[in-house]
Each structure stands twice: as structure tokens, then as C-alpha cells.
Structure 1
Amino acid sequence: MQPSSNAPEERHGPLAGLRVVEVSAFVAAPLASMTLAQLGAEVIRIDPLGGSIDYHRWPETEHGESLYWASLNKGKRSVTLPLDTPEGQRAAADIICADGDGAGILITNLPARGWLDYEQLSARRPDLIMMRLLGNHDGSPAVDYSVNCASGFPHATGTGPEPVNHVLPSWDVAAGLYLTVGLLAAERRRQETGHGQEVTLALSDAMLATVGNLGYLADVQINGASREPGGNSLYGAFGRDFSTADARSVMVVAITTRQFRALGRATGLTEKLEMTGPLMDVDLTTEGGRYAARHAIAAVLEPWFAARTLAEVRAVFHGSGVLWGPYQTFRQLVEEDPRCSTQNPLFSWVDQPGIGILLAPGSPLVFSGDPTPAAAPAPRLGADTDTLHSPVPQPVSG
């Protein structure tokens, strides 16, 4: 299969005609704008000369090209300007406030002062939409790692009293997707009224909203309970990891009674599994009952998995209705999982400048009436500077 040649200038998809400018770094804001680009919006990322603070973030190639940066900036256009000079700042403001019905939209996680001040920019373009990511609601700084430690989840992760961080920047991801929803809501309001607005989102509020929406804040207030760590057991239902004969691990989940019965049929252990209910004096037709009996259920299942390889488990569970999945390293995900391949329409081959040919994901959203574009490579840093704005004179030293 040939790498995608879908140039960033050729916009297709449900958001074609929308023009978004991004002045940001790290995960949340770049993810938000890339999500829009993958749906057809024209996204222009503006960086200082030489790249922003995330331009060389790991992982990177042996030649120092950031795979992180390339992966979070797919399908965008890139402009570099001397943003520490008045000339560079004016040039950036020109791009942000450019004419056009779908233009005048900015995403940033930088301090909104000086040339990035909403009042200054909206004075030039009154219908400007500015999406601004904060750390905390009071404007104080925060990053995913400083937010996650306060969320309660590290104390509910692992098996003991010591908090355990996870490596997924979940609050950055959640905040990035919140930003896209907020932007589309503000753009719809602008279409209706002709008015723009500044929309702010605090990273810590994305965390707090999630903890509250999952019921954990209410659990403390109403029940006086704070969720304890349970290892790899699924909280409130049955689910756990099991080791196979070839030293692989699998996760098995049975949230509903139907799923629990499918697990019994597939393994041939229905009768033994049903015995755990009376043994533990619980009702196995309820999620709470299966959770209370989780250790007894696992004791019945452990020898079955230990006697079979991953391939044998896969063969037995195929088409059985059992919810399960293998634990995989990133390498195993790439090399073994057919979902991470061009068998899945999510992926296509792209020729990434400076790096090479990569299998890259596009948007995971599938529209029946307006197909989303294939994945496109990230631009070379500054590749669109001359096209989108006249070169800014560089300061003379000496």
C-alpha cells in the first residue's frame, strides 16, 4: 500500500472550511487541534523559531526527530515566527485574526497576556473564538502528572497503600477532547449570533468533573467511603487478569450475568463457578455478588488458564461471547494485533518527513455520509511560514 499523499492543503471531511490556529505545546491543546484536523479542519500551528518546548520530546528517533511531535501534529500546517519580538507577535496575530467565515479560531495553553490577550485579539476580530487551557481554575499552573496525583486514582491503583501512577496522560487526553467539544459549541453559537467568545478549561477541572461523573465524589459524601486499591480486579463486578501456560496474561471481564454464563460455557466450568455463590453466600446474578465472590471465582478459573497457551485461549473464546483481551506491550500491539494494521480503516501509511514511512491512525470517528480523511503526516517545522505569511525580518545581532 502506498503512503498517503493527502496534502494538508486539500481539506475533506465534515469540518472542511474551518480554520483553526494553534499556539501551544505538550498534549492537550495539540491533541484538540489534531482531532479537528483529522475531521477536515485546516489547522495552523504557530511555533517560535526552532520549535516550541515540546519539539524534541521523547520518544524520538536515533537522529533526534521527535516521534511524539510528529504523532500529535498530523495533518496540520506549520509556521515558525520570532514570537519573542513585536514583529513576530504581530505576524502571529495576523494569522489568528485573518479574514474568512470559518477562520478566527485560536487554541492555546500559553499565558493569555500581551499579544495573546483575548481583548487585544478580539478588538481586531470581534467574532474571535479563543479556546484557552489553564492548569487550575484560578490560573495557577498544573500538568497532567500534578493533577493526577490529587485525583484519588493513584491510591485506588495497585495492591497496597502506596500510590501508583499510570503512564497514560488521561487528563491531557480528556482536556483535549473537551476543548474540541467546546470549540464546536462556540463555533455553532457564532454561526447563530455572529459573536465570538473566550472559552476556558482548567486541566484540573477536567479531572474533577470525571471523578465526580464516575460517582467517587458522591461515594465519599454519601457513604463515607473512599475506594481502596484492588489490583487488577474490576471494581464492582467480576474481572481479573490470568496467566497462561506460555507466560502471557489476559484480562477477563464478566459485568453482566449473560457474560458470566458465557465464561462458564466456554471454559466448561459452569457448575464449579455456580458453586461459588452459595459458598460465599452471595447472589451471582448481580454485579455486586460476583464482585464479592471474585476471589473464589478466580480460584476456579486460574488452573484453566494456566493449562492453556494464549493461542489456545484465543481459539476457545473466539465467538463465545466472553469479554477478554490479551495484555500486550507496545511492541506486541504493533506486531501482533490485527486491529493495529491497515485491516482497520483507522490506519494508513504516511511518509513522515525526516522519519520515514509510518503506519498512522486518522480519526476514530466514522461518518456514514461524510467520510473522514485518511491519516496525513505532520509537517516539517515551519514548512508553511512563507505560504501563510510574508517572512518576518530577523533581528540583527552584533
Structure 2
Amino acid sequence: MAGPLSGIRILENANNISGPYAGMLLADLGAEVIKLEMPGTGDPFRRWSGDAGEITPQFAAFNRGKKSITLNLKTEQGQDAYLRLAVTCDLVFENFRPGTLDKLGIGYEALRTLRPDILYCSVYGMGSQGPLRHRPTYDGIAQAISGLWSQLSDVDAPVPVGPALADQLTGLFAAYGMLGALVGRAQSGKGQQFELSMLSASMAFLTHPIVDYEMTGLESGPYTRPRRSQTYSFVGSDVKPFAIHLSSPQKFWVGVATAVGLPELVDDPRFATKKARIEHYDELHSTLAERFATKPRADWLAALDEYDVPAAPIHSVSEAIAEPQAAAQDMMQTFGSGDRALRMVGFPVRYAETPSAPDLPPPALGEHTDAVLGALGFSADDLGDLREKGVI
């Protein structure tokens, strides 16, 4: 059975991460997503690391499940083909700087004239308004200006960290916004234009740090929440890392103290309450770390499990892929078949009645141009002429 967005057609005019990630999530839900790329070069992520070939890991990660067509939007014929295709779609989205497509005569106003109920999403770096609206913005810039970076790294000695959180958060919020727009049109019958930015998405993610500051004046940092949530990391005698998250239930603290053979810590005034454990976080961590260093990780995880303490190994990517629980969740799936088969992380939501299944592999550049434009009425001769002129 097809996914819940089966029958929805979406035109993606976006590059790199934020827009393509949103498009991929909608494709995972069963939408037909047509990715528009520049002839000859395509999405910059096809050759982001200078690698040979069109399907690099960077491109594949954000573009499975889509069709790819090439169109040179700087040409009159390319613009005409774009408009003809766009009006067959339920939703169009792009991630260019504000006004780029309007200057070419193929922005929202042009599309709305041809199809009043069209949905149009713009994914910007800084937004369409404000003094920085025309600034080039990538993941690190959005992390920095939004405050997100300050939650990931010590601002007194800042270092960039991965993955591309601002980019992918923007993609998630973009997909969320597009789903809301589709539901809204289903109820009202009306199209609309809407936007979000990497700045707005990254700030929207920081609900707790921002409310904390507004209510208490506290400037949160990368270690604020771990202390409050009582999250700890340790290594066993085999130097394998693991995590413990005590949260609020007192039983988890009692379980840890008992599992490590230090029951006297339960009533120690420094650690007896969650408030006390927050205040003496470093001291408690040091005490437990010394004990955890005496046995291998597996022994400690077994002991903690016996007392129902939330704990887990800190996996590398390869270890996470091999994790039996991840396998039980069917998180690794194969997209495509034969020479095109590619094993990738799958979609995390499981629908009982409209399940999504692995579909198309990441597309070759322009792989579906002839089929998509042919369905719009372009003949073989037309396509040959457009190809010769560099339009497709």
C-alpha cells in the first residue's frame, strides 16, 4: 500500500541540505517529488567533496525517493517548461535567496496566476525580511546566529560540531510546514505562500533554553541540561563508553548506587535529592567514574539493567547500524535494486494502514527529464532541441 501522501505531487527547486531533506521526507511519505537541477552540474552536493560520479554520500543522504529533471531556468524555454510543470504540482518549494525566482518571472505570483490553489514554500537562510535577509547562510552560520552553537560547544573556546543540525532542523520544520499547508488547502481549497528560515527553525528548536532565559535570566550552555536532567557518560575498564540518564525518579538514583556497590551514597547529603545531585554534579560524576573504571562496560550495563536504570552503550555510527534494537525497528532499508541498490537509514514513522516502503534510489542527474517533460506534451524532437540548446 502506498504512503499517506500518495497522489501528492511536489516540485523541489532546492539544493544542498535543508530543502532536499524536506523533499526526501515527503517522498518517504509517498509523495511524488520531482527534483529540478541545473543541466550539466546539478545539485552541488553531487560533487561536494570533489568526488567523481553523480551519487556521492552527501547527495544520496538527502535525495532518495525522488525523480530528477534538468532545466536551465536562466533561459526563456526553461522558464516556460518550469511553469508548465509547476502548475501540475500541488506544492512547489525552493531555497534560493529572497526574490531570485521572482526576478526570473517564475516566482509565487507567476504561479498563482496560473494556478490559484498552488502551495509555495520558500526556505531561506535568514528570511525574506530584516537587515540580514540577503546574507549567504550555511549550517554553521545558522547555528552561530540562532544560539544553537552555544548549546553544543563552549563559547569561550568554540569548535564546530556535526552533524548539520541547523540544516536538517530546517528541513524537518519545512516538511512540517508543507504538511500543514496541504491539510489547510484540503479544508479551505485555497493556496498560499509560506516561508521559514534556517535562523527561525534553529531558534524554534531552542524552546527550553530560550524560555529559561526569559523566565529566569539563565544563559544555558552545552552542560546546563545534562546537569539538570542528570545525564552522565562513563567508560568501563575496557575503555568502552556508555551513558546513564537518571532524570527525576528517585528509584533510578537508588538503582545506580546499588548497582555500583555504593548504597551509602543514596542518603549522602550531597546526592540524596535531585537538587543536591545537580549542585554536586561534578563530584558525583567523579565518584561514579572511579567505580565504573573497574569493570568492562558490558558488566556495568547488565548490572544497571537489573535495577531498571536507563543506560545504554554510546555507539559509533557503525555500531548503531549493527544494534539489534535498530534492526528490530527496521531502520536500515534498501532503496533501488540491482546495481542501483543502496542501503540507507529508513523512515522512522510506522503507519498501520498506509505504510511507506523504500522506493526510488537517489536519482542520476536528469534521469527522469524525458519522462516528466514528455508527459507535459514535449515531443522527442522538442526534447532534442532543448537538449541541444542546453535548456535540459
TM-score, L = length of structure 1: 0.84
Identical columns (%): 23
Letter of the 2:90 counterpart: G
Q: Offset at 1:201? A: 0.5
Letter of the 2:323 counterpart: D
Task: Show the counterpart of 1:186.
Answer: 181
**Aligned 1:1-398 pairs, distance under 5 A:** 12-50=2-40, 51-58=42-49, 65-98=55-88, 103-110=89-96, 111-113=100-102, 114-137=104-127, 138=129, 139-141=133-135, 142-158=137-153, 161-211=156-206, 213-214=207-208, 216-230=209-223, 234-256=226-248, 257-275=250-268, 278=269, 280=270, 284=273, 286=274, 288-318=275-305, 320-334=307-321, 336-341=322-327, 343-351=328-336, 357-374=341-358, 376-389=360-373, 390=378, 391=383, 393-394=386-387, 396=389
Q: What is the DSSP-based 3-state SS (H/G/I as helix, E as strand, rest coil) of the residue aligned with 2:387?
A: coil
- Render the CA deviation track for 1:196-252: whole Å, top value 9, x for unaligned: 0111111101122222x21x2343344333124539x81313222112111222121
Where do 5+ consecutive residues of structure 1 fail to align? 1-10
Change (3 A) 1:105 1:64: closer
CA contact (8 A) 2:148 2:203 kept: no
The RMSD of aligned alpha carbons is: 2.6
Structure with more helix by fraction: 2
- Render the CA deviation track for 1:323-343: whole Å, top value 9, x for unaligned: 222223333333x423454x4
- Render the CA deviation track for 1:167-204: whole Å, top value 9, x for unaligned: 12222222111111211221122222221011111110
Change (3 A) 1:306 1:321: same
Letter of the 2:134 counterpart: S
- Which stretch of structure 1 is more off in the superposition, 121-130 or 265-274? 265-274
Alignment length, in residue pairs?
A: 370
Q: What is the DSSP-based 3-state SS (H/G/I as helix, E as strand, rest coil) of the residue aligned with 2:61?
A: helix
Q: What is the DSSP-based 3-state SS (H/G/I as helix, E as strand, rest coil) of the residue aligned with 1:252?
A: strand
TM-score, L = length of structure 2: 0.85
Letter of the 1:310 counterpart: R
CA contact (8 A) 1:360 1:375 kept: no
Where do 5+ consecutive residues of structure 2 fail to align? none
CA contact (8 A) 1:175 1:206 kept: yes
- Which stretch of structure 1 is more off in the superposition, 257-266 or 155-164? 155-164
Q: Offset at 1:117? A: 1.1
